[in-house]
Structure 1
Amino acid sequence: MYTRLHTACPAAPRAWTVELRSQAGQLVLTCLQCPSGGRPVTAASARSAALAHLARHARADLRAPHLRTCHCHERGCGWHRRHRGCAGPIRLLLSCERGGRVWRLADACGACAAATAHAAVVPDTVLAQTPCLPSGGLRRRRTRGPGEHVRVAEILSYLAVALPSDTSAGARLIALQVALRVNAVLRVDLPAGLLRSLRIDSPAACRELERARWLSVVAGPGTEGVALQLRDATLLTQAPARPDRRRAADWALRRGSLARTRGTEPRLQLLGVYLAAYSDPDLGVGLREYDRVVHDCGMPDHRLSRALHDLADNGVLKTWQICPDSGDLHWKLSPGQR
């Protein structure tokens, strides 16, 4: 009697691409992985529809970390500029090509993700059930996943891709709080006290994000605050535990208030939070490509330079310089800003 050996087929790669095509005078969302034809979308809803479709694919194909591979490497690393090779953990990378006509969500290593233009890592933590506590009493909850610096940096990088490039600094600050505080049904309530602490034009910022179809305003803004419904389902794909996200949101608020000077200046708050998130927590030093900072903060080159000068003048930055050879921005936070 002979036994036939059977080798399991490898699982399909976690990489999905959607394209926005003009057909018969209308815009059609087409998925390269779906057998069905495309569906019509409006220009205003195209971005949110593309992100929601990619999120559904990712939620339907959850895998343990050791079963995920760098799909960029598998494709010959043709999605980015040359670098020294694959390295780092496998993360979900959202990338945009052809001016927003093509969107891709795929597993990629940290090195490939860093080398890919117009891309951002989807925050890579998992939803987990709260463990049952023993009858002997309460036990202090451990923080899961990365710390506040990393969480805020990931969200800011993601928003740079998910939001229109001309989104204002005030709207990006609201979006940061929404992304970190949203619950499991994509709903978030921002109290009036939190909105006042941001010192921005909250109604205008919410309307801007609503026009971008990134969220919907359910109630307010008013004396009680504002209730929002997030339309970007990608953030729910791999959502961190909510208490940890709320701590990161509070951390971002504190860093923004330290960077604020001379009244209401959202650009200084945003840049202050960004630089703090990408700084070494102990030494306060940071290094980032200058063009990447311009992209992630949505600031023109001349406005970013002015904001760096202002942060140095008000004591947030101790030093900063742009390397003429590499184009990298080097900075060091003042001791009280770490």
Structure 2
Amino acid sequence: MLLALTRDRSGRAWRLADTCAACAAATSNTAVVPDTLSGSSRPPASVCPSVPVHRFQAGLQERVRVREMLTYLGTALPRFTSPAARLLALQCALRTDVRGQVRLPTGLLRGMRLHGNRELWLELAHADWLALPDFRALPAQVRLLDAAVLDQAPGRRARCRAADWALRPAPLILPAAAPALRLTALALAAYTCARAEHGTDMDILTRLCGHSAQQTSELLDRLVTTRTLQAWRHDRETDEVVWQLPQPQAQSRIAVLPRGHQA
């Protein structure tokens, strides 16, 4: 992952975003910020307390691919883009062919609770990200206007697996939740790894989801209420958000004490 600086079309604003090398090279008005010795004071991943890795091995490559695409869309789409439109754009970007053509089955859109919602297509078309589809055609066929998503690596089959993972982003699966909550859970799942605690910057979460910091905090509280997260906290000095997943049931069993010991 690279830190890239992108200038908007008007030239009045610049955005910093984590992105992959391919996306940075394909995005216009973008420069990669070079590495510096004065980096973050966070401890390296190797010193973090570890948890069973098998929970996170499945879908590791898909998780990385989704994280990279969410990061890119956080820069390519306007900040006010709705969570539902971002979820739709993610599926389009990952499922596109080299010509920018995407076919989205009706069952897929219904499963995402986005079927028949023309406002989302209008929202992305207004951002010049795609051309409006023929709403009478089934399945939906879309042409993307964002040239940066046409030449992606890995290939389309691997990207489609990532798109499928994004529909059920283990271990934070919320299939029946509202788009804002599902997008937040997806962003957290993309940054979840084999540690006891998982974290990223609050600015990154707000940019990926198009929320304010206050909205993000409220959504994280809802994820705790629904027991999708065990807990979370925001370090205001470093602006880092750290969250914990619920412990597996196997770890919550009562230990058998040796003879001669009493609870």
1:246 is matched by which residue type in structure 2? C
Residue 208 (structure 1) shift: 0.7
2:86 is matched by which residue type in structure 1? R
Change in Cα spacing, 1:329 to 1:184, as seen in structure 2 (3 Å) is same
Change in Cα spacing, 1:21 to 1:276, as seen in structure 2 (3 Å) is closer
Larger radius of gyration: 1
Residue 184 (structure 1) shift: 1.1
Name the SS for the 1:255 alignment partner: coil
Q: 2 CA distance for matches of 1:20 and 1:325? A: 33
1:267 is matched by which residue type in structure 2? A
| 1:278 equivalenced with 2:191 (yes/no) | yes
Long gaps (5+) in structure 1: 1-14, 23-78, 81-89, 96-101, 116-145
1:195 is matched by which residue type in structure 2? L
Name the structure 2 match of 1:178: 92
Residue 275 (structure 1) shift: 0.3
CA deviation vs aligned residue, 1:81-115 (integer Å, no higher than 9, x gap): xxxxxxxxx824649xxxxxx95234566x47xx8
Q: 1 CA distance for matches of 2:63 and 2:113? A: 22
CA deviation vs aligned residue, 1:201-247 (integer Å, no higher than 9, x gap): 6322111101111001232266x331110000011233420110000
CA deviation vs aligned residue, 1:299-337 (integer Å, no higher than 9, x gap): 12221111101111112112211113212000123357x
RMSD of aligned alpha carbons = 3.3
Name the structure 1 match of 2:221: 309
Change in Cα spacing, 1:284 to 1:245, as seen in structure 2 (3 Å) is farther
Name the structure 1 match of 2:124: 209
Name the SS for the 2:221 alignment partner: helix
Name the SS for the 2:192 alignment partner: coil
| 1:258 equivalenced with 2:188 (yes/no) | no
1:278 is matched by which residue type in structure 2? Y
2:146 is matched by which residue type in structure 1? D
Residue 18 (structure 1) shift: 7.8
Q: Is the 8 A contact 1:214 1:231 kept in 2?
A: yes
Change in Cα spacing, 1:208 to 1:150, as seen in structure 2 (3 Å) is same
Residue 290 (structure 1) shift: 0.9
Change in Cα spacing, 1:108 to 1:314, as seen in structure 2 (3 Å) is same
Which of 147, 156, 172 in structure 2 is aligned with 1:242? 156
Name the structure 2 match of 1:126: none
Long gaps (5+) in structure 2: 40-59, 249-263
Q: Is the 8 A contact 1:94 1:104 kept in 2?
A: no
> Structure 1 or 2: larger strand share?
1
Which of 165, 185, 190 in structure 1 is aligned with 2:79? 165
Name the SS for the 2:69 alignment partner: helix
Name the SS for the 1:177 alignment partner: helix
Q: Is the 8 A contact 1:259 1:272 kept in 2?
A: yes
Q: Is the 8 A contact 1:260 1:268 kept in 2?
A: no
Q: Is the 8 A contact 1:318 1:333 kept in 2?
A: yes
Change in Cα spacing, 1:147 to 1:108, as seen in structure 2 (3 Å) is farther
Q: Percent identity?
A: 34
Residue 277 (structure 1) shift: 0.5
Q: Is the 8 A contact 1:92 1:107 kept in 2?
A: no
Q: Is the 8 A contact 1:92 1:105 kept in 2?
A: no
Name the SS for the 1:219 alignment partner: coil
Residue 148 (structure 1) shift: 0.6
| 1:91 equivalenced with 2:21 (yes/no) | yes
1:266 is matched by which residue type in structure 2? P
Name the structure 2 match of 1:268: 181
Name the SS for the 1:287 alignment partner: strand
Q: Is the 8 A contact 1:284 1:335 kept in 2?
A: no
Q: 2 CA distance for matches of 1:307 and 1:20? A: 31
Change in Cα spacing, 1:185 to 1:103, as seen in structure 2 (3 Å) is closer
